[in-house]
Amino acid sequence: MKKDYLRVFDLSKDNFIFLINRAIELKSIKDYSKAPLIGRSIGMIFEKPSTRTRVSFEVAVYQLGGHPVYLSPRELQLSRGETIKDTAQVLSRYLDAIVIRTFSHSTIEEFARWSQVPVINALTNEHHPCQAMADMMTILEKKGKTEGIKIAYIGDGNNVANSLIEASALTRAKINIATPKGFEPLKDSVEKAKTLTEVTLLNDPYEAVIDADVIYTDVWLSMGEEGNNEKKEKFKNFQINSKLLKRAKPDAIVMHCLPAHRGEEITDEVLDGTQSVVLDQAENRLYTEKAILEFLLLL
């Protein structure tokens, strides 16, 4: 039976933790001669711009011995009215898995419904599960554990926040989410996560970061919201800066999924500071995506 990875909660706790540990193992492997995906072709449909996700997936597929097939929306008949059903069924005859970065989460759910090969969510408006796995891998590397770790997420309750909440639940990390009123994360993610760990929704970032082990933020304006100055104004007190950082534990790490809008959600001083692990976090996308590909295609 084929498996998909559309949101973090598609995986069990045991499988999610297994994949984090497998990603750490893969990080130590520099010999790519074994090539477990040799002869496999992985389709990559990107309807949104991407730097880290596209490059890390292409490199992951290549280093595993597979062939990445990049498909821009302009090159697909979807842009001329072909149905998702027809596209998914046909591509399943050519490809061994399909990575999709799109807008509505319902789009990728429909694609997965008709696809006969695994589908991986490379970002939708509601979820960013590959990012969340790399986030938890980074926390495990830096803190030596995830269970009981206190995460403070400051900013918009967006796709990154939703997936981070779900990943925290599966790894038993505690998480505070501080957003302006009206910008809370998905209720579905929060309520399911609360059955496994502590999830606290707040509107005060300074309260959220007290004794935090991890401080995490993302852009205030997601793709498609550029120029929304009214929304940006509501987030002006939700910046990660040195004053806020002092409220967390002295050894707290700072995370950001990138790209960052420097001077908005985070200052240069913090992003480039000694407590920042954003580059390690970005690098770990490569290894978690290798682990995901292995899991969906080979296990």
The predicted-structure confidence for 47-93, as pLDDT tens digits, reads as follows 999 999 999 999 999 999 999 999 988 889 988 899 999 999 999 99
DSSP-derived secondary structure for 137-164: HHHHHHHS--TT-EEEEES--SHHHHHH
| Identity at 238, one-letter amino acid code | F
233 in the same domain as 150 = yes
d(CA 132, CA 257): 9
The domain of 198 spans 131-281
Rounded mean pLDDT of 166-176?
98
- CATH code of 150's domain: 3.40.50.1370
260 in the same domain as 118 = no
* Neighbouring residues of 161: CB distance < 8 A, sequence distance ≥ 6: 153, 155, 177, 179, 185, 218
| 185: its two tokens | 């994360």
d(CA 108, CA 237): 34
| Model pLDDT for residues 127-136, shown as the tens digit of each residue | 999 999 999 9
288 in the same domain as 222 = no
d(CA 141, CA 21): 10
Residue 11's pLDDT is what?
98
Active site members: 101, 128, 131, 218, 257, 285
pLDDT at 195 over 90: yes
d(CA 284, CA 63): 15
pLDDT: is 80 or 191 the higher one? Answer: 191
Whether residue 195 lies inside any domain: the answer is: yes
Whether residue 57 lies inside any domain: the answer is: yes
Whether residue 1 lies inside any domain: the answer is: no
157 in the same domain as 99 = no
57 in the same domain as 13 = yes
Backbone angles phi, psi at 130, to 5 degrees: -70, -40
248 in the same domain as 289 = no
Prediction pTM value:
0.97
179 in the same domain as 138 = yes
Residue 80's pLDDT is what?
85
Whether residue 3 lies inside any domain: the answer is: no
137 in the same domain as 121 = no
| Identity at 234, one-letter amino acid code | K
174 in the same domain as 55 = no
Backbone angles phi, psi at 282, to 5 degrees: -65, -45
Rounded mean pLDDT of 212-221?
98
* Neighbouring residues of 227: CB distance < 8 A, sequence distance ≥ 6: 221
Whether residue 191 lies inside any domain: the answer is: yes
d(CA 165, CA 176): 9
288 in the same domain as 277 = no
* Strands of the sheet with 150-154, listed across from one edge: 199-202, 174-178, 150-154, 214-217, 253-256
Whether residue 226 lies inside any domain: the answer is: yes
257 in the same domain as 213 = yes
The number of residues in the chain equals 299
Whether residue 2 lies inside any domain: the answer is: no
Q: What's CA 49's distance to the chain center, in Å?
A: 15
Whether residue 161 lies inside any domain: the answer is: yes
- Crossing angle of helices 278-298 and 13-27, in 10° steps, is 110
Backbone angles phi, psi at 126, to 5 degrees: -105, -25
Domain count, the chain: 2
pLDDT at 225 over 90: no
46 in the same domain as 113 = yes
* Neighbouring residues of 75: CB distance < 8 A, sequence distance ≥ 6: none
